[in-house]
Homo-oligomer: A and B are copies of this chain.
């Protein structure tokens, strides 16, 4: 395959350069590179970001691409769980068509890697894991999907789930999940013992949902830190949501942040609705990696969500009350490098030798890209052109249009 030379790019963090892509890799980055037989694309000074990394979503639940479905559950968590139990069968979920539509939308919006939490429970068994696996296999050249086996109904409260989680690993799932070890599963120590036991035994990663609030959630974070140290799983454990971390006082946040950094545990947030957002700046200053994802996208839990990670970064920056460019960039870091570290991606980045996963946008600074979420002018996944906007097809301008206006 002939290569691709991207001329006059502006690489995030390193500045103006040409980028030569060959065999799926950024083989050379510099000024005035010789294209040889490579196709040449002039980026006209556009901003080049590494591929966006969706660190937390639920592909198996989505209704994306289908008709509008007004939210049908009552206000309480129990209402949503009951509603999902009834309606997912009625709506034929998980539906490969919806999963496909969402992944395709994510890909053209610049997402190159996805971690999705797939329901594993005695009610639905491993259906979701198989559906997502099959769709992901078909789209493998455009977007990479990693599944977490997610015990949505609990592990101890839904006996038989531990065995299903283990079987999910046999089906290619690379991480084991958990959910509110105390609040939902009623026994934090045994819940975590199952999760950490599976991870240690099978060499998979851990990504736990933790919505439990206040001092209960803080206690569970302490348990997770202790177990990560004891099992030698540093760098392979993520806590998603971690509302308790957002709610804690500053001294507790500092103590937990030091513990998380030391144990090599990352935090994944979604910044949805009015739910607490962990203190991104404080965590980064303490050396904790923070990733970001959409959580629910157009499903029975939430009618919101677009699949555009720049929009998600906007929500994270906004909820963090970030105004300065360097702060807003922390949100962009969460949907790129933070996600890559959480998923353990090899060869991720914008330096020579990394995989050619990148997104080109017309923005003056990285923060500007988060604020305006401009059209994606070019998306490469492992060197393959997944999306090429108007301007780079030489057919006009892709300058951001005023919001709410149709294309000319």
Contacts and interface: CB of A to CB of B under 8 A. Distances in A.
Interface string A296-321: 00000011101110110010001111
Interface size for chain A: under 10, 10 to 19, 20 to 34, or 35 or more residues?
A: 35 or more
The SS class assigned to the A binding surface is loop
Contacts of A407: 375, 390, 398, 401, 407-408
B308 A375 contact: no
Contacts of A320: 274
A405 B71 contact: no
A323 interface: yes
Given A304-B371, A367-B303, A371-B304, A321 B405 contact: no
A402 B108 contact: yes
Contacts of A372: 306
Contacts of A311: 403
Given A303-B328, A323-B303, A68 B406 contact: no
A325 B319 CA distance: 24
A376 B405 contact: yes
Interface in A365-408: 365, 367-368, 371-373, 375-377, 387, 389-391, 398, 401-408
Given A73-B323, A408-B390, A403 B273 contact: no
A391 B275 CA distance: 38
A401 to B, nearest CB: 8
A269 to B, nearest CB: 13
A247 to B, nearest CB: 13
Nearest to A308: B403
Contacts of A325: 70-71, 303
Contact of A403 (B109, B303, B390): B109
B398 A324 contact: no
Interface in A57-106: 67-68, 70-71, 73, 104-105
B306 A273 contact: no
Contacts of A104: 402
A272 B317 CA distance: 11
Contacts of A272: 318
A226 interface: no
For the complex of A and B, 8 pairs with smallest distance between CB atoms: A407-B407, A109-B404, A389-B406, A308-B403, A375-B406, A68-B364, A71-B323, A70-B325
Interface of A: 67-68, 70-71, 73, 104-105, 108-110, 272-275, 277, 302-304, 306-308, 310-311, 314, 318-321, 323-325, 328, 363-365, 367-368, 371-373, 375-377, 387, 389-391, 398, 401-408
